[in-house]
Amino acid sequence: MMRTAPQRGSPARYVMAMVCLIAAMVTLAGGFIQMVGALERGGYGTSSVTYALGWLGFGGGLLGLGVALMIWELSVRHNVRH
């Protein structure tokens, strides 16, 4: 089976993946700090826990998007086909 040469990737996709991954790390750290503070102050069921869960969910979404973009970019650059 002959393989073709690797294609050129998209610099914009690569940069966007890195931005999402870095933003996810910052957001997840901030959400964790908010969660610890909220649990120390009032425990479960408070509005501050809901706010912290929102930040953790947003960070998880950014992490998933960044990983998906990175896999897509590397599969294009290295000509990985399924």
pLDDT tens-digit series, residues 54-71: 999 999 999 999 999 999
Q: What is the per-residue pLDDT for 49?
A: 92
CA gap 69, 13 in Å, rounded: 7
Higher pLDDT: 29 or 47? It is 29
Q: Determine, yes or no, domain membership for 3.
A: no
Q: What is the per-residue pLDDT for 44?
A: 79
Q: Determine, yes or no, domain membership for 71.
A: yes
Q: Determine, yes or no, domain membership for 82.
A: no
Higher pLDDT: 14 or 44? It is 14
Q: Determine, yes or no, domain membership for 15.
A: yes
Mean pLDDT of the chain: 89
- The residue range of the domain holding 64 is 11-77
Q: How many domains does the chain have?
A: 1
- What's the whole-model pTM score? 0.83
36 dihedral zone (left: phi>0; alpha: psi -120 to 50; beta) = alpha
